[in-house]
């Protein structure tokens, strides 16, 4: 087996998908850094508890200059010899500069069955559309939001009693199973 791929996980919140990536059998990847754009994101503590370097790069320090923030982020990642970036609740739309810097090595988990319901409020939209099933998608990140090549999907039926909140919770369970598997597969194939 070749060396494990060095992964950085970008977060903005609680870090439940980060925890799933940490807890998974990491035979193909090693999480070497977790970076949050929110200084008090709960996921930073998860990283520290796992002995992973936890970094904060507050996007607010850069005003409206998104690319300046991303250039600094890129420098942090390159200095740690990161090979793959996993977005796990990172609530920033990335610029073409950053996306193209990490082409084919930037992966995201999205709470819908893409190409249906890109963007936000996916659970509300799936219910409003009368969908019979819902789920999540792991995909490569490209310039267009939620439009990259699909690496994997997990599906489940929508039940009559579902609300956006219950649906979100059920989809999150699927995400925690799907994301580590797809990240490992990507790492093995690089």
Residue 182's alpha-carbon distances to 92, 108, 138, in angstroms, are 22, 10, 7
- Residue 54 sits at φ, ψ, to 5 deg, of -115, 120
- Residue 77 sits at φ, ψ, to 5 deg, of -70, -45
Catalogue the active-site residues: 110
Is-contact 148 141, C-beta < 8 A?
Answer: yes
Comparing C-alpha atoms, which of 163, 13, 17 is closest to residue 91? 13
Q: What does the alpha-carbon distance between residue 127 and residue 103 come to, in Å, rounded to a whole number?
A: 33
Q: What does the alpha-carbon distance between residue 78 and residue 62 come to, in Å, rounded to a whole number?
A: 20
């Amino acid at each position: 087996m070749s060396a494990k791929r060095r992964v950085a996980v970008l977060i903005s919140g609680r870090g439940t998908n980060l925890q799933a990536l940490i807890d998974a059998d990491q035979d193909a990847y090693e999480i070497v850094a977790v970076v949050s754009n929110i200084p008090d994101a709960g996921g930073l503590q998860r990283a520290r508890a796992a002995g992973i370097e936890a970094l904060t790069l507050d996007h607010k320090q850069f005003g409206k200059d998104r690319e300046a923030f991303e250039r600094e982020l890129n420098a942090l990642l390159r200095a740690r010899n990161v090979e793959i970036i996993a977005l796990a609740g990172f609530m920033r739309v990335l610029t073409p500069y950053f996306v193209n810097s990490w082409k084919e090595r930037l992966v995201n988990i999205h709470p819908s069955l893409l190409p249906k319901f890109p963007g936000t409020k996916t659970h509300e939209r799936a219910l409003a559309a009368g969908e019979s099933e819902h789920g999540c998608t792991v995909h490569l990140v490209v310039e267009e939001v939620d439009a990259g090549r699909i690496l994997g999907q997990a599906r489940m039926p929508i039940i009559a009693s579902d609300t956006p909140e219950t649906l979100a919770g059920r989809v999150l369970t699927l995400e925690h199973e799907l994301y580590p598997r797809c990240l490992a597969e990507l790492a093995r194939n690089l």
